[in-house]
Structure formats: C-alpha cells, structure tokens
Amino acid sequence: MSKIRFAVAGCSGRMGRMLVDAVLSSADGELVVALEHTGSAFIGKDAGELVGSACGVKITDDLSALSTCDVLIDFTRPEGTLAHLHACVQHKTGIVIGTTGFDAVGKAEIEAASKNIPVVFAPNMAVGVNAVFKLLEVAAGILNEGYDIEVIETHHRYKVDAPSGTALRMGEVVAKALGRSLDEDAIYGREGLTGERPSRQIGFSTIRGGDVVGDHTVLFAGLGERIEITHKSASRMPYASGSLRAARFIKDKASGLFDMQDVLGLR
C-alpha cells in the first residue's frame, strides 16, 4: 500500500512540530511539504531538524507544492488556513483542518471547498475529546431536567480565541440534545448583579495561563449532586494522532465535508 503524502502547515509552531514528528514517525505516512508563512526565518531549513532529525524536506512558502501531496494538515490561523484551502482546491489536495476561530464567512468557504475536495473540519482532533462529545450527548439526554450546565475550559496563554472551539462544540452537543439553541441560551461571562440563573442557560468560563495544553469540563449541577465530564490534554500528540487518522479517512475520497465523528464512526 502506498504511503500518504503529507503536507504540514505552520510547521515551525508548537502544533506544527508535533505534526511533523507524528508524520515522520508514522508507518504509512511520508512528509512531502512543510509550509511556513512568507518571511519566516525557517524557510529553506530542513523540516526534520525542527524535531531533531533531518529528513530532506525543505520548509517553503510555495503553495504550488501542494500539488505533490495527498493531504494537508492545518492548525494555523483562519486567514492562513483559508489561503491554504483555496490552494488545496486548485491542486485537488485533501485537507484536515484543526484551526479554530472561523467566522460564518470562513465556515461557508470551507463548506464550498468540500464540494471539490475532501475536508475534515473539527474543533478538536483528539480521539478522547470526540468520545467525550458522544458521552455528553448521552448525559444531556438523561440529565434533561433540574440540572444547570456550565462549560469550563483552560488553555495556555498564547491561545488567541475564546471560548475554545472544543468548548463551543461541547455546548452545541449539549444544546442539541436538550432541544435548545446555543445562540439564545449561552452566556460567555458574568459580572456584577446578574440576577438568578435562568434554567435554560448554558454558561461558559474561560481560563488562560501558563502552558496548559487544553482542559475541558462540562458540569451538570443539580440539587444535591454534580456530574462532571472532563478531558485533559497532557500534550499535543493526541491532536496529531487524530489528524493522521482523519487523513487516512479522506485519502481516497473525492470530496465531502466530514468531522471526527465521521472519522470515528460515531454518527
């Protein structure tokens, strides 16, 4: 069986280095392209040196190199990801998108691109987190009366969007299971004289600090008991491993928009 030819965007970043390492360590993957933004000091350097072992792949900002790949994995920023997405459409290259913080226009561009290439777009690629999404769906269906729901997330000081995409997806899963609308029932912070908590409210709390990779908890608080469903990431490797799994899922697909629930068969 031929190896999957990978491209990694933002290869010099924290997540990018983890992805480079994961691809180089995989039995069925081959790193073909390592992308960085124009002007990066890393352009021209060997991508393998980012993780301690030269591999012969030079870091580039030339998006035409995507024509040599099967799948691009992208955990950069929305504006960068959309530029890479358009290049993927041009070169018929699949894409796994772990970037968060897209607005409605960006999400529409991703959906439009998926009519021409295969796309996995998910707020969190970790298999464990996606198992939690399924657990939340079940829990919300059971705890559908008399429980207040709060989503609490913690990330490192460098994260630029809040709440995290994972926290928002958790809220969406719970809201859907309860027949609620996150647009109408979510609150993203409290201050001052807030009044009594509405029963339908889904609260979000965001913590930023240090080097926390990512902690997420959904709290179901009832009278006399609390149920907490928590996922904690000790490293970025689960995101990288899940991304490779997503790439394997779309390698032979012509087009379509998928998420990790599709990849893992959890629909």
> Alpha-carbon distance 45 to 69, whole Å?
19
Q: What's the structural domain count of the chain?
A: 2
Question: How wide is the angle at C-alpha 264 spanned by C-alphas 140 and 123, nearest 5°?
Answer: 65
The HSE-up count of residue 205 (CA atoms within 13 Å, CB side) is 12
Q: How far, in whole angstroms, is CA 132 from its chain's centroid?
A: 14
Please tell me whether residues 62 and 16 are part of one structural domain. Answer: yes
Catalytic residues, by residue number, are 155, 159
Please tell me whether residues 229 and 255 are part of one structural domain. Answer: no
* In 9-143, beta strands by DSSP E: 29-35, 59-60, 71-74, 94-97, 118-121
Please tell me the predicted confidence (pLDDT) of residue 1. Answer: 65
- Residue 59 contacts by C-beta under 8 Å, 6 or more apart in sequence? 11, 12, 34, 35, 36, 40, 42, 43, 44, 45, 46, 47
Cβ atoms 261, 267 nearer than 8 A: yes
Please tell me the predicted confidence (pLDDT) of residue 28. Answer: 96
Please tell me the predicted confidence (pLDDT) of residue 111. Answer: 98
Please tell me whether residues 205 and 249 are part of one structural domain. Answer: no
Please tell me the predicted confidence (pLDDT) of residue 123. Answer: 86
> Alpha-carbon distance 85 to 7, whole Å?
12
Please tell me whether residues 15 and 67 are part of one structural domain. Answer: yes
Please tell me whether residues 145 and 254 are part of one structural domain. Answer: no
> Alpha-carbon distance 230 to 217, whole Å?
4
Three-state secondary-structure class, residue 137: helix
CATH number of residue 215's parent domain: 3.30.360.10
| Domain range enclosing 156 | 127-233
pLDDT in 10s for each residue of the chain, 267 residues: 689 999 999 999 999 999 999 999 999 999 999 999 999 999 999 999 999 989 999 999 999 999 999 999 999 999 999 999 999 999 999 999 999 889 999 999 999 999 999 999 998 999 999 999 999 999 999 999 999 999 999 999 999 999 999 999 999 999 999 999 999 999 999 999 999 999 999 999 999 999 999 999 999 999 999 999 999 999 989 999 999 999 999 999 999 999 999 999 987
CATH number of residue 77's parent domain: 3.40.50.720
Please tell me whether residues 177 and 224 are part of one structural domain. Answer: yes
Please tell me whether residues 186 and 163 are part of one structural domain. Answer: yes
Please tell me whether residues 160 and 92 are part of one structural domain. Answer: no
Please tell me whether residues 172 and 76 are part of one structural domain. Answer: no
Please tell me whether residues 154 and 80 are part of one structural domain. Answer: no
Please tell me the predicted confidence (pLDDT) of residue 233. Answer: 93
Cα torsion through 36, 42, 48, 54, rounded to 10:
150
Three-state secondary-structure class, residue 225: strand
Please tell me the predicted confidence (pLDDT) of residue 60. Answer: 98
Please tell me whether residues 98 and 160 are part of one structural domain. Answer: no
What pTM value is reported for the model? 0.84
Please tell me whether residues 131 and 224 are part of one structural domain. Answer: yes
